[in-house]
Every structure is written in structure tokens, then in C-alpha cells.
Amino acid sequence: MSFSIKAEITAHVKKAAGLYRLDLYAPEISSEVQPGQFVHLRVRDGGYDPLLRRPFSIYDTNKSRGEISIIYRVVGRGTSILALRPPHDKLDLMGPLGRPFTFWEEDEKVILVAGGVGMAPLYLLVKALLKKGVHVKVLLGARTEGELVGTEDLQELKLKPCVATEDGSAGFKGLVTELLKEKLGENSFHRLYTCGPRPMLKEVARVAADFQLKGEVSLEEIMACGVGACLGCAFPIKTGEKGAQETVYKKVCAQGPAFSLEEVIYD
Ligand SMILES: Cc1cc2nc3c(=O)[nH]c(=O)nc-3n(C[C@H](O)[C@H](O)[C@H](O)COP(=O)(O)OP(=O)(O)OC[C@H]3O[C@@H](n4cnc5c(N)ncnc54)[C@H](O)[C@@H]3O)c2cc1C
Ligand code: FES
């Protein structure tokens, strides 16, 4: 079930250059959300500009306080406006929306790969997997240390994320996908979940296929309605058996954002 509400900003904190955490009082959403779902919110305070809502993954919840949190990077006009909204302002939002990640009861060990703010849909998933007693390994990648997301929050869960930065400012120097190859060579996992920039996702899917590891990916696509009514977020997906595959278009907002790693066409 999803809701359309006005949610009060309870905290709005700059975590690093261009990176913010926004906490909202949204008890209906906080109690319903499943890992991988998102909210679609109006960044403006009145008026019509920008007209379209912007989608953000629900990063965390605090059910006793009725709160949800999102983590976002400022990339354009909408997120620049959002960054200026002060505590106690009310934001118009819809959620929780979209297809959440799938859980498999038989999974005992899973690996998660996040690129930068791609950690946003994965943190609630980590918490849910740990609650089920699943062993979780998290790989975080970014260009530089300041762009890593979630390190401290994961440490609070007593996890030690494996970090890769392209400039070597923290952890392994190189791409997180190189670190992934190394980790999959050392240990076996039952499932992989990932979110991040498209080229990273393509490589993660290729590496996972090499190791015959199945999994799910959370896709980000420009959205309009956010609820499956406009086709604005249609994305090419493979269907059918190997050798007789067809391409169909699926709506990321309603049929995703979680898709199986193998069905997505990354190019
Ligand atoms: C399901 C979903 C969950 C998301 N969760 C998060 C999150 O938790 N944190 C976060 O920082 N970002 C998230 N995003 C991306 C976020 O929605 C965009 O960064 C935001 O809408 C950009 O708005 P803008 O007006 O600032 O940028 P615009 O001025 O609209 O665009 C600036 C740049 O961002 C690109 N862009 C715009 N909209 C999207 C979009 N929906 N997805 C990907 N790229 C986009 C444009 O192509 C352009 O290059 C998510 C996207 C989706 C679809
Ligand atoms: S954004 Fe309208 S169908 Fe997905």
C-alpha cells in the first residue's frame, strides 16, 4: 500500500560535499516500506517549478519515531532546491513505491556492491538480511573517499565494509568491480545485490555471470509519474529462454526498480 502525504522534515544534514541525509516524519511509509522501495517527492515549496517529482530510495527507517531517511547527491536543479529545504518544512511525497528486493529463504551468504550513492536502496536490505541471520558482505566503491556512502552506518551494524576508491584515498585502489572479482575468488555466495552507475552495474552483472552468481539490481531511471501510468521510465529487459530471447520494455517505477541481474540490458 502506498500513501500520498505531507511529511515534516525532522533533520536535514550535509554529510559531505554535495551529499545530504534527509529525515522525514512519515509513519505510514516507515511502517510499510520494504527494502528497495522509494519515495517520489516534490522538491519545491509551492508553485509549479520543477513540475515533476524526484524519486529517492528509502535508505533507513526509525519505526518508533515514525521516520524515514533518504540519502541524496545534488546533481541538478531539483536536488539543489531540495538541499535548501529547512527542518520543519513539509514535503509532499508518495510512497513507498516500486517492487522491493526479493529474499530467498535458502540464502546464507550474500554480497552487496554499491557505487557511491548506490548504497541508498541497499542499507535497509542489509538490516533485513542481518535480522534473518544471513551473513552479509558489503563492497563500497567511489571515485574518492568523500563520495563513499554508508561506511559509518554499516560499522554501527558491526559490519566491516570492503572499500574501493579509484584514487586510492581509502581502501583498495581501483574499481569496486575489481574488488568484487577478488572477493568472489576467495569465497562463495548465494546471491548478489547491487546499485550504482550503469557502467558499474554492467560489469557487476558480467562478473557475477562468470561466477554463476545470481542476484538483483536496483535501477535508476528518469521518472515522471512514478506509479506506472506514463511509460516515462520504460527500460529494455530480456525475456524468454537463452537462444530465443526477446526485448520488452518494463516500467522501472512499477515493475522495478529491483530487477534480476541477468534480465537487464545495460547498454
Ligand atoms: C528508484 C530511484 C531511486 C533513486 N534513489 C536515489 C537516492 O536514494 N539518492 C540519490 O541521490 N539519487 C537517487 N535517485 C536519482 C535521483 O532521482 C536523481 O538524481 C534526481 O531525480 C535528479 O534530480 P535533479 O532535478 O537534481 O537533476 P536533473 O536536473 O533532473 O538531472 C541532473 C542529472 O541527473 C540525471 N537524472 C535525473 N533524474 C534521474 C533519475 N531519476 N535517475 C538517474 N539519473 C537522473 C539527469 O540525466 C542529469 O544527468 C534515484 C532514482 C530512482 C529512479
Ligand atoms: S514514471 Fe510513469 S510509468 Fe514509470
> All domains of the chain, ordered by start, with CATH?
3-97 (2.40.30.10), 109-260 (3.40.50.80)
The pLDDT tens digits of the residues spanning 168-225 come to 999 999 999 999 999 999 999 999 999 999 999 999 999 999 999 999 999 999 999 9
What pLDDT does 48 receive? 85
What pLDDT does 243 receive? 74
The pLDDT tens digits of the residues spanning 139-158 come to 999 999 999 999 999 999 99
224 Cα to the center of ligand 1, angstroms: 11
75 Cα to the center of ligand 1, angstroms: 7
The pLDDT tens digits of the residues spanning 212-260 come to 999 999 999 999 999 999 999 999 999 887 777 899 999 999 999 999 9
pTM of the model: 0.95
What pLDDT does 47 receive? 84
From CA 23, how far away is CA 81, in angstroms rounded? 16
What pLDDT does 70 receive? 98
- The ligand placed nearest to the CA atom of residue 256 is 1
226 Cα to the center of ligand 2, angstroms: 5
CB 22 within 8 A of CB 70: yes
What pLDDT does 160 receive? 95
What pLDDT does 237 receive? 93
Does the CB atom of residue 52 touch ligand 2 within 6 A?
no
Mutate to test the pocket of ligand 1, among 15, 220, 221, 253 (most ligand atoms within 8 A of CB): 220
Give the nearest ligand 2 atom to 226 CA.
Answer: 1
Give the nearest ligand 1 atom to 54 CA.
Answer: 21
Mutate to test the pocket of ligand 1, among 222, 225, 250, 251 (most ligand atoms within 8 A of CB): 222
185 Cα to the center of ligand 1, angstroms: 34
The pLDDT tens digits of the residues spanning 81-125 come to 999 999 999 999 999 999 999 999 999 999 999 999 999 999 999
The pLDDT tens digits of the residues spanning 3-54 come to 999 999 999 999 999 999 999 999 999 999 999 999 999 999 888 889 999 9
For residue 48 the three cell numbers come to: 509549479
What pLDDT does 45 receive? 84
From CA 70, how far away is CA 238, in angstroms rounded? 31
Which residue is closest in CA terms to ligand 2's atom 3?
228
